[in-house]
Amino acid sequence: MTAVEERAGAAGADDYEARLQAFTGVELVPQRRGSDPVNVPMIRHWVEAMGETDPVHTDDDAARATGRSGPVAPASMAQAWVMRGYAASVAPAAGHSPFDDLAELLAEGGYTSVVATDSEFTFARELVPGDEVSVSEVLESISPEKRTGLGVGRFVTTVKTYRDAAGEVVATQRWRLLRFRPPGRGPEPRALRPRPAINRDNAFWFDAAREHRLVIQRCAACGTLRHPPGPVCAACGSLEQDTVEAAGRGAVHSFVVNHHPKHPAFDYPLVVAVVELTEGTRLITNLVGIAPEEVAIGLPVVLDWLDADPELSLPVFRPVAGKGT
Amino acid sequence: MSGLSGAAAVAGIGATEFSKESGRSELQLACEAVLAAVADAGLTPADVDGLVTFTADTNSEIHVARNTGMGDLSFFSRIGYGGGAACATVQQGAMAIATGVADVVVCYRAFNERSGERYGLGQADRAMDIGADRAAYSWMTPYGLNTPAQWVAMFARRYMHEYGATSEDFGRVAVIDRAHAATNPAAWFYGRPITLAEHQASRWIAEPLHLLDCCQETDGGQAVVLVSAERAADLPHPPVVVRAAAQGSGADQHMMTSYYRPSISGLPEMGVVGRQLWAQSGLGPSDMDAAVLYDHFTPLVLPQLEELGFCGRGEARHFIAEGNLALDGALPTNTHGGQLGEAYLHGMNGIAEGVRLVRGTSVNQPKRVDNVVVTAGTGVPTSALVLGAAQ
Ligand SMILES: [Zn+2]
């Protein structure tokens, strides 16, 4: 596979990612009012079922003794006031909502299973009998693809806003679902390349790579270049550092053609090289646009970029035009 | 009175500020503390030849050394068991100094225990390790350079380029190992020698390494017992004296991937070891009657012969082709079959073979062996021994 083909593959992935991310900030569920106002009978059923014993939810005197004007609904009932009945939840949808569009797009990516992972409530005020609660839901974020115990998936985070009849916010709920691909169904997408462990000493390099800049750490005191980078200059002991951008030219110092074992993220035979840059530092990289049998020590190479996945871009090298295949 | 008492002293101390949020890596904290202590002692990092820390520390000696500008290290040691290690780091350093294996030892410990991994929160839900050792893999694994065979292959290719060595030159190491294993009933490949043609025909693992350049994988255990030489004389077996024991880490040392040094066709860390072996023992390469050379992968046997002084740089392929490693050669090597032929026990089975050679009980005993050199892993900070018969 050439770098161009690899890029095309990455561009396809980018396109799907862009379509997913376009949902950020979109109101998935327009404001919808609950079937019944807040009422004492439903509160009573709830607290009995939940084993909730605080009398402020059901006893007028007890509630007044706490300075309230009457019974209040348990905070965690917020969702209950706007739940649709079973029949409504299984009835065919009247129209096509953004919620349905997102679900379809996730299904297209193979994320057909769902499990709730987090619910964080923030309450503005307590609900009292007579309150008419409505809810709307806005998409906050869709994570990059993650490997989880359940399967490969994405965390979809929405914010549900609960309002009273006057339109005032009574509660917000950050709601996180894992939309995942059930293992063993359908073709697995290409595995991601192994993740770099990003820490305070190397993050700048991988950040720059995402911007397609190959940087070399430079001591701010004595100018010594170093790679792999580190927190201290071995030449002078300085803790200050900046970077220079590499010109992107170099030569193969050594190389390997990997056959076994095969990692699912890579095509084999896989050429890995140590390239010495014209600036004098070396780095481990992949060679692209050349057959393994054409690679030789000393081969002049030029920088190219591989967008391996939305989170990982890597500098790779190809033969200088006219060399190699 | 032990040899330890009064042998060493603390000459410098240094620390970072103590905070709840250092804002920098654990490695940087370690380096800052080490640099401060070295300066307090009136020394420079280049004077340091020993490092000791906790097994719990994320800042390996090689990262501290290459960042602070230390060069060769002849002693590095880690102590386990959390905070129980503290004073033992000083004990290790003092023993190294008392015995002359190091002159300047720095003991250190650095962490972001409050802003990073808080021990007080317990062991559940530990975050991804982003310590310096794990982060070092960030420069290779995203490119698919993941395995020891691949790491060694990178050195091997450069070695071939610089010295004209070929895959057959590596293959001769495998052939001799397997020949020795073939007559060792304890060896996995007992009764199964190979030819150079079979080596050449074996499938590629990571070019230029064939399958038969790679050691096997083994389940097993191996232990050795040490007592004083005086005491050993009263025990059943003839004493096998530790004539020299040395560690070595070279400048700009990495784990298996020291590709950033001016030259990557040698094993400078084994050079550090070799110079100490000969200095400690008063012996030299020509005094060695046999060798057990670490052979996880055949190519790195060659630069070991060069670093230890058995031949000149780039000449190991001739030394091997001349038959010197065979039982009737000048330096019978890996008489147990090595890790390619007997077992891959991380080099510990090689120490046992060194003992058998001196005792005269190897299944492939070449002749009288007064002294044998035994090496440990290559491509990493390493170590070696000279074992010898009692005088
Ligand atoms: Zn500097």
The minimal CB distance from A261 to the residues B31, B147, B204 is found for B147
Using CA atoms of B357, B362, B365, B370 in order, give the dihedral in degrees to the nearest 10: 10
pLDDT of residue A92: 58
Rounded Cα distance between A277 and A293, Å, is 22
SS3 category, B96:
helix
CATH number, domain of B25, equals 3.40.47.10
End-to-end CA distance of chain A: 13
Q: Give the CA distances from residue B77 to residues A96, B70, B91, B274, in Å, rounded to whole numbers and listed in that order.
A: 66, 16, 11, 19
Q: Which stretch of A128-142, B282-296, B332-346 has the lowest confidence by average pLDDT?
A: A128-142
Q: Give the CA distances from residue B294 to residues B18, B52, B90, B159, B201, in Å, rounded to whole numbers and listed in that order.
A: 44, 25, 31, 18, 24
Burial class (CB in 10 A: 0-12, 13-18, 19+), A193: buried
- The shortest C-alpha distance from B73 to chain A (Å) reads 15
Residue B3 scores a pLDDT above 90: no
Q: Give the CA distances from residue B141 to residues A34, B135, B146, B181, in Å, rounded to whole numbers and listed in that order.
A: 53, 10, 5, 34
A111-125 tens-digit pLDDT? 888 888 888 888 998
Residue B312 scores a pLDDT above 80: yes
pLDDT of residue A322: 60
On whether residue B56 sits in a domain, the answer given is yes
On whether residue B12 sits in a domain, the answer given is yes
Total domain count for chain B? 1
More confident residue, A91 or B253: B253
Rounded Cα distance between A153 and A145, Å, is 5
B144-155 tens-digit pLDDT? 999 999 999 999
Residue A176 CA to ligand 1 center (angstroms) comes to 47
- One domain, residues A149 and A263: no
- One domain, residues A173 and A128: yes
What number is the average pLDDT over the span B126-136?
A: 83
- One domain, residues A28 and A95: yes
Residue B120 scores a pLDDT above 70: yes
User: What's the full length of chain B, in residues?
Assistant: 391
On whether residue A307 sits in a domain, the answer given is yes
What are phi and psi for residue A301, nearest 5 degrees?
Answer: -135, 160
Q: What is the CA radius of gyration of chain B?
A: 22
On whether residue A196 sits in a domain, the answer given is no
On whether residue B285 sits in a domain, the answer given is yes
pLDDT of residue A324: 43
On whether residue A154 sits in a domain, the answer given is yes
- One domain, residues A152 and A251: no
pLDDT of residue A257: 98
What number is the average pLDDT over the span B15-26?
A: 92
- One domain, residues A79 and A32: yes
Residue A5 scores a pLDDT above 60: no
**Residue for token digits 């991994």?**
B117
Characterize the bridge pairing of strands A169-180 and A152-163.
Answer: antiparallel
Residue B45 scores a pLDDT above 50: yes
On whether residue A247 sits in a domain, the answer given is yes
Q: Give the CA distances from residue A68 to residues A44, A123, A128, B97, in Å, rounded to whole numbers and listed in that order.
A: 18, 16, 10, 76
Total domain count for chain A? 2
Q: In what order do the strands lie in the sheet with B290-292?
A: B240-248, B382-389, B371-375, B290-292
- The shortest C-alpha distance from B47 to chain A (Å) reads 14
On whether residue B141 sits in a domain, the answer given is no
End-to-end CA distance of chain B: 26
Listed in sequence order, the DSSP H helices in A51-143 are 60-65, 78-82, 86-90, 98-108
Which residues have CB under 8 Å from B52's CB, separation 6+? B75, B76, B77, B78, B79, B89, B90, B92, B93, B96, B105, B106, B107, B108
Confidence class for position A88, pLDDT limits 50, 70, 90: low
Residues of chain B numbered 316-375 and touching chain A (CB < 8 Å): none
- One domain, residues A222 and A170: no
The upper half-sphere exposure of residue B7, i.e. CA atoms within 13 Å in the direction of its Cβ, equals 21
What number is the average pLDDT over the span A95-121?
A: 85
pLDDT of residue A1: 35
* Predicted TM-score of the model (pTM): 0.72
- The shortest C-alpha distance from B365 to chain A (Å) reads 37
- One domain, residues A315 and A253: yes
What number is the average pLDDT over the span B154-183?
A: 98
| B44 bridge partner residues | none
Contact status of A237 with chain B (Cβ, < 8 Å): yes
pLDDT of residue A8: 36
- Mean pLDDT, chain A, rounded, equals 88
Query: For residue B276, what is the DSSP state?
Result: H
On whether residue A267 sits in a domain, the answer given is yes
pLDDT of residue A53: 84
ipTM of the modeled complex:
0.91
- Mean pLDDT, chain B, rounded, equals 94
- One domain, residues A257 and A167: no
Contact status of A197 with chain B (Cβ, < 8 Å): yes
On whether residue B278 sits in a domain, the answer given is yes
The minimal CB distance from B66 to the residues A230, A263, A272 is found for A230
pLDDT of residue B176: 98
On whether residue B375 sits in a domain, the answer given is yes
On whether residue B55 sits in a domain, the answer given is yes
pLDDT of residue A11: 42
Chain B neighbors of A306, CB-CB under 8 A: none
Would you state the structure tokens that stand for residue B111, as one six-digit string? 């962490």
- One domain, residues A13 and A161: yes
Determine the structural domain holding residue B24 and report its residue range: 8-116+216-389
More confident residue, B334 or B126: B334
CATH number, domain of A169, equals 3.10.129.10
pLDDT of residue A90: 62
A278-297 tens-digit pLDDT? 999 999 999 999 999 999 99
pLDDT of residue B123: 65
pLDDT of residue A325: 44
Q: Which stretch of A79-93, A135-149, B58-72, B105-119 has the lowest confidence by average pLDDT?
A: A79-93
Handedness of CA B37, B39, B45, B47 (dihedral sign): negative
On whether residue B100 sits in a domain, the answer given is yes
| A312 bridge partner residues | A309
B215-266 tens-digit pLDDT? 999 999 999 998 888 889 999 999 999 999 999 999 999 999 999 999 999 9
Determine the structural domain holding residue A240 and report its residue range: 203-319
Residue A189 scores a pLDDT above 70: yes
On whether residue A286 sits in a domain, the answer given is yes
